[in-house]
């Protein structure tokens, strides 16, 4: 794919934005510094930090045990000046505002910011960040210019698509003379009433694992199997007609909740394998015992990436 260019023929550069814990977006790529600040350098967005564990063997080699993504650090150099009005008092207000924006604590609790990168093709990726150093040691130019060297910690090592979620709805369709494997955006999962199962393909367009959010509309007792990774989760309790149960697979926030009644349904899952979607195509099979034409499955997920 050709790199987009400006009307001068130059490649369109990356655009860096930051959302502070109060929800305010900061354009860090305004080289005119009309507001009084600009990101003069950025590092740590080019790839994924990894952690590896191994055990030594008697012959001097080692046996790898784990190879996992690790939390990383993004370095930002933020140049703060007077802004377009060239006002000395505005300069000090800008210093206060930048320190407040990158101070990730609100209401006595940790409060993340978000760093967003717009790539030359217009796509955007975002990651949650916490400032861990740099707000207390700026290089100060008296009454004129300050350079902050800020370190941002990324507790989730993956970047996520911004404004580009995959939201799919699969009603259960009967009367199709057998099980018909389909690929979205076909209108539904083709179920045979005697077997009540169907297959479809979910594509993870990113290069990192992503974790879908499932919503099942009853009636029926669903089982979901990712045949690509050979992992599955299943209900042991039928979902009543008209009720919806949501399964969240994100690590650290896994849950199974009847969102109609507000009750916890975790005990009605066995196995509890909240599988991710692998990079690329994932062939997923759903079987629903006791399904009717009112039964439906909704799934949403956000592509995740190893770099910005």
Domain regions of the chain by residue span: 15-54+62-161, 166-305
Reported as a pLDDT band with limits 50, 70 and 90, residue 12 is: low
pLDDT at 167: 85
pLDDT of residue 9: 54
Looking only at the bridges linking them, the beta strands covering 113-118 and 105-106 are unpaired
Classify domain 166-305 by CATH number: 2.60.120
Report the 10 Å Cβ neighbour count for 306. 16
Flag whether pLDDT at 80 surpasses 90: yes
Q: What is the pLDDT of residue 144?
A: 83
Write down the pLDDT at residue 5. Answer: 45
pLDDT tens sequence across 33-69: 999 999 999 999 998 889 999 999 999 999 999 999 8
Q: What per-residue confidence (pLDDT) applies to 39?
A: 96
Helix (H) or strand (E) holding 93: helix 88-101
pTM over 0.75: yes
Lowest mean pLDDT among 5-19, 36-50, 249-263: 5-19
CATH number of 15-54+62-161: 2.40.30.200
pLDDT tens readout for residues 182-230 = 333 334 444 444 344 567 788 999 999 999 999 999 999 999 999 999 9
C-alpha span between 277 and 228 (Å, rounded)? 9
Instruction: Say what the pLDDT of residue 295 is.
Output: 87
* Confidence at residue 172, expressed as pLDDT on a 0 to 100 scale: 60
Predicted local distance difference test score (pLDDT) of residue 243: 97
141 near 57, Cβ under 8 Å? no
DSSP 266: G
- By three-state DSSP, how is residue 91 classified? helix
Distance CA 260, CA 245 (A): 7
């Amino acid at each position: 794919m050709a790199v987009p260019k400006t009307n001068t023929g130059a490649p369109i550069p990356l655009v860096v934005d930051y959302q502070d814990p109060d929800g305010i977006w900061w354009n860090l790529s305004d080289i005119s510094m009309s507001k009084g600040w600009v990101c003069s350098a950025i590092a740590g967005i080019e790839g994924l930090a990894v952690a590896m564990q191994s055990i030594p063997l008697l012959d001097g080699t080692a046996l790898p045990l784990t190879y996992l993504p690790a939390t990383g650090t993004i370095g930002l150099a933020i140049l703060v000046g007077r802004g377009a009005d060239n006002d000395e008092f505005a300069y000090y207000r800008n210093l206060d505002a930048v320190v407040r924006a990158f101070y990730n604590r609100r209401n006595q609790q940790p409060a993340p910011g978000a760093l967003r990168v717009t790539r030359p093709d217009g796509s955007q990726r975002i990651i949650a960040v916490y400032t861990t150093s740099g707000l207390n040691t700026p290089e100060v130019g008296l009454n004129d210019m300050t350079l902050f060297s800020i370190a941002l910690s990324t507790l989730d090592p993956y970047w996520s698509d911004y404004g580009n979620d995959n939201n799919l709805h699969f009603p259960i369709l009967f009367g199709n003379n057998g099980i018909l494997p389909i690929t979205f955006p076909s209108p539904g999962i083709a179920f045979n009433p005697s077997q009540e199962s169907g297959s479809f393909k979910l594509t993870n367009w990113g290069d990192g694992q992503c974790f879908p959010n499932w919503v099942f509309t009853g009636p029926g007792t669903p089982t979901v199997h990712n045949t690509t990774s050979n992992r599955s989760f299943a209900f042991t309790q039928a979902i009543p007609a008209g009720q919806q149960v949501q399964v969240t697979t994100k690590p650290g926030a896994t849950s199974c909740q009847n969102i109609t009644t507000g009750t916890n349904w975790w005990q009605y899952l066995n196995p509890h394998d909240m599988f991710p979607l692998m990079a690329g195509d994932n062939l997923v099979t759903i079987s629903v015992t006791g399904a009717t034409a009112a039964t439906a499955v909704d799934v949403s997920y956000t592509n995740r990436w190893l770099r910005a």
